[in-house]
């Protein structure tokens, strides 16, 4: 208590002493220090809720970052032109010279082409022709791998030296299904054996190539009667000219029937996947929010019990001049400290879980700052709400009744 003299009456008036921040922390943490086990159990619910929310957001952000890194590496400037159907519903073919015409469009930097062959690929002639294993046979030009930004897992790509020979390059899925582990082995296509000269690494932007057996353009024409009409044209253009090139492709590839040419963007699937990465996250965030609310209820319950157990302490402080506001501040501070401890533990656990998941999957470790700030802010809000009722109840206790309860 502090003393003040009333100027009009000359009487000494007592007024309650103010509590500084250090005093508030001291009295607010007194209940926590005296009951450490109860503090740990109460903070555990908050920690679980925050850890769940941080881990869910962090794992989702790490997965999205990995997809975006993959998109950056693969590029979003590739377009694919394929034949559609005529106005009468008949299948059409792209002109034989369409790869060269496509390459003359301003802004186009690389062009690759494939042509479908009505053949199956098998390990030996003893395997029935109908058992294709979902593998298609295609003719491919030497610019395809460069346009797709692909790499070879083993062996070599098609070139001028092997374009005329019975050589084949397999996508990595095709190699797995055929049981081919490296170059030098043979597969059976169109009544003769072809030597495998290479296996391609995965191609996320061209999954159809992963499930194909690729022959040289000339070898396909000479050995398997390929008609020379491409069925897929792949092109890379400068980033600034992608939209203009997309509009020009149909009129350039087939000037007489541009409506017969379909143009697609294979990177759009990865972009859509990156954008919808958080769709399932919302459900898990809801579960984390429920856990956080349950933790808040646990904190409120702990604080109510603390008020009941410490009625003598409250009465003693009130009888020594503590105001109701100071009592409320004491217990709200105690609730905030209790929730804050759980929140800090939850942030550490959630970030650690995200790191373990990202490291095991080869992903970048990403924990968005807004998730950390929002999670800790939610913790403090829950702590304030959980401590309000017990604090008000403690402040309403009469000093005499509180002291008589001992």
Is residue 286 domain-shared with residue 400, that is, in the same domain? yes
CB-neighbour burial class of residue 217 (10 A; exposed 0-12, middle 13-18, buried 19+): buried
Contact residues for 74 (Cβ-Cβ < 8 A; gap 6+): 149, 204, 205, 267, 270
Q: Which residues of 225-247 are buried (b: 16+ CB within 10 A; e: fewer)?
A: ebeebbbbbbbbbeeebbeebbe
Distance from C-alpha of 247 to C-alpha of 349, rounded to nearest angstrom:
51
- Count Cα atoms within 13 angstroms, Cβ side, for 314: 30
Looking at residue 4, what is its pLDDT?
47
Is residue 94 domain-shared with residue 237, that is, in the same domain? yes
Taken in order 300, 303, 309, 315, the sign of the CA dihedral is negative
Number of domains in the chain: 2
Structure letter (DSSP) for residue 19? P
CB-neighbour burial class of residue 282 (10 A; exposed 0-12, middle 13-18, buried 19+): exposed
In order along the chain (406 residues), what is the average pLDDT of each group of 10 residues? 52 54 68 77 83 84 75 75 71 86 89 92 85 88 91 92 90 93 91 94 89 94 92 88 88 85 77 57 68 81 82 79 81 86 90 90 85 85 85 80 58
Could you tell me which of 65, 73, 67 has the C-alpha nearest to residue 368?
65
Cα 38 to its chain centre, rounded Å, is: 37
Cα distances (angstroms) measured from residue 236 to each of 13, 83, 233, 266? 86, 18, 10, 12
Structure letter (DSSP) for residue 193? E
Of 241, 264, 287, the position where a domain reaches its end is 264
Is residue 195 domain-shared with residue 159, that is, in the same domain? yes
Please check whether residue 11 lies inside any domain of the structure. Answer: no
Is residue 258 domain-shared with residue 292, that is, in the same domain? no
Structure letter (DSSP) for residue 124? S
CB atoms under 10 Å from CB of 360, counted, come to: 8
Is residue 86 domain-shared with residue 115, that is, in the same domain? yes
Per residue in 140-178, pLDDT tens? Answer: 999 999 998 899 999 999 988 888 899 999 999 999 999
Distance from C-alpha of 254 to C-alpha of 98, rounded to nearest angstrom:
7
Of 209, 232, 264, the position where a domain reaches its end is 264
Please check whether residue 152 lies inside any domain of the structure. Answer: yes
Pair 71, 270: CB distance under 8 Å: yes
Looking at residue 2, what is its pLDDT?
45
Pair 277, 284: CB distance under 8 Å: no
Is residue 86 domain-shared with residue 191, that is, in the same domain? yes
Please check whether residue 2 lies inside any domain of the structure. Answer: no
Q: Which residues of 369-392 are buried (b: 16+ CB within 10 A; e: fewer)?
A: eebbeebbebbeebbbbbbbebbe
Please check whether residue 185 lies inside any domain of the structure. Answer: yes
Structure letter (DSSP) for residue 123? S
Please check whether residue 10 lies inside any domain of the structure. Answer: no
Is residue 232 domain-shared with residue 285, that is, in the same domain? no
Of 235, 264, 293, the position where a domain reaches its end is 264
Looking at residue 337, what is its pLDDT?
87
Looking at residue 87, what is its pLDDT?
60
Please check whether residue 230 lies inside any domain of the structure. Answer: yes
Could you tell me which of 175, 190, 187, 196 has the C-alpha nearest to residue 220?
190
Is residue 25 domain-shared with residue 90, that is, in the same domain? no
Is residue 108 domain-shared with residue 129, that is, in the same domain? yes
Is residue 54 domain-shared with residue 139, that is, in the same domain? no
Cα distances (angstroms) measured from residue 127 to each of 162, 197, 282? 27, 22, 49
Is residue 310 domain-shared with residue 195, that is, in the same domain? no
Domain range for 357 is 18-70+276-404
Phi–psi pair at 41, nearest 5 degrees: -65, -40
Is residue 96 domain-shared with residue 229, that is, in the same domain? yes
- Count Cα atoms within 13 angstroms, Cβ side, for 360: 7
Could you tell me which of 135, 138, 111 has the C-alpha nearest to residue 215?
138
Please check whether residue 358 lies inside any domain of the structure. Answer: yes
Cα distances (angstroms) measured from residue 318 to each of 14, 159, 399, 400? 14, 92, 6, 9
Please check whether residue 337 lies inside any domain of the structure. Answer: yes
Cα 282 to its chain centre, rounded Å, is: 13
């Amino acid at each position: 208590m502090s003393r003040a003299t009333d100027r009009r009456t000359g009487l000494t008036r007592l007024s309650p002493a103010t509590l500084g921040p250090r005093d508030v922390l001291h009295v607010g943490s007194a209940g926590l220090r005296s009951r450490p086990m109860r503090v740990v159990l109460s903070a555990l619910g908050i920690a679980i809720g925050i850890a769940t929310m941080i881990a869910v957001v962090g794992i989702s952000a790490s997965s999205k970052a990995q997809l975006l890194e993959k998109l950056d590496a693969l590029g979003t400037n590739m377009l694919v032109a394929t034949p559609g159907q005529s106005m009468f519903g008949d299948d059409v073919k792209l002109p034989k010279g369409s790869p060269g015409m496509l390459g003359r469009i301003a802004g186009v930097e690389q062009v690759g082409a494939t042509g479908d062959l009505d053949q199956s690929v098998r390990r030996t002639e003893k395997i029935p022709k109908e058992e294709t294993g979902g593998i298609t046979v295609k003719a491919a030009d030497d610019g395809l791998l460069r346009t797709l930004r692909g790499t070879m897992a083993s062996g070599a790509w098609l070139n001028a030296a092997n374009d005329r020979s019975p050589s084949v390059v397999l996508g990595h899925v095709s190699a797995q299904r055929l049981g081919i582990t490296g170059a030098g082995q043979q597969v059976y296509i169109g009544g003769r054996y072809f030597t495998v000269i290479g296996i391609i690494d995965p191609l996320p932007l061209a999954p159809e190539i992963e499930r194909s057996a690729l022959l040289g353009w000339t070898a396909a024409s000479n050995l398997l009667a390929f008609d020379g009409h491409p069925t897929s044209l792949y092109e890379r253009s400068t980033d600034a000219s992608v939209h203009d090139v997309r509009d020009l492709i149909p009129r350039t590839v087939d000037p007489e029937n541009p409506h017969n040419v379909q143009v697609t963007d294979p990177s759009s699937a990865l972009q859509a996947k990156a954008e919808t990465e958080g769709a399932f996250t919302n459900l898990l965030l809801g579960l984390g929010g429920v856990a956080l609310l349950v933790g808040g209820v646990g904190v409120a319950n702990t604080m109510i019990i603390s008020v009941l157990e410490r009625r003598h302490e409250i009465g003693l402080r009130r009888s020594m001049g503590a105001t109701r506001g100071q009592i409320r501040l004491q217990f709200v501070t105690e609730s905030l400290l209790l929730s804050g401890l759980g929140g800090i533990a939850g942030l550490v656990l959630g970030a650690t879980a995200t790191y373990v998941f990202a490291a095991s999957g080869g992903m970048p470790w990403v924990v968005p700052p807004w998730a950390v700030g929002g999670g800790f802010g939610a913790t403090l809000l829950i702590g304030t709400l959980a401590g309000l009722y017990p604090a008000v109840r403690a402040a309403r206790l009469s000093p005499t009744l509180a002291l008589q309860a001992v």
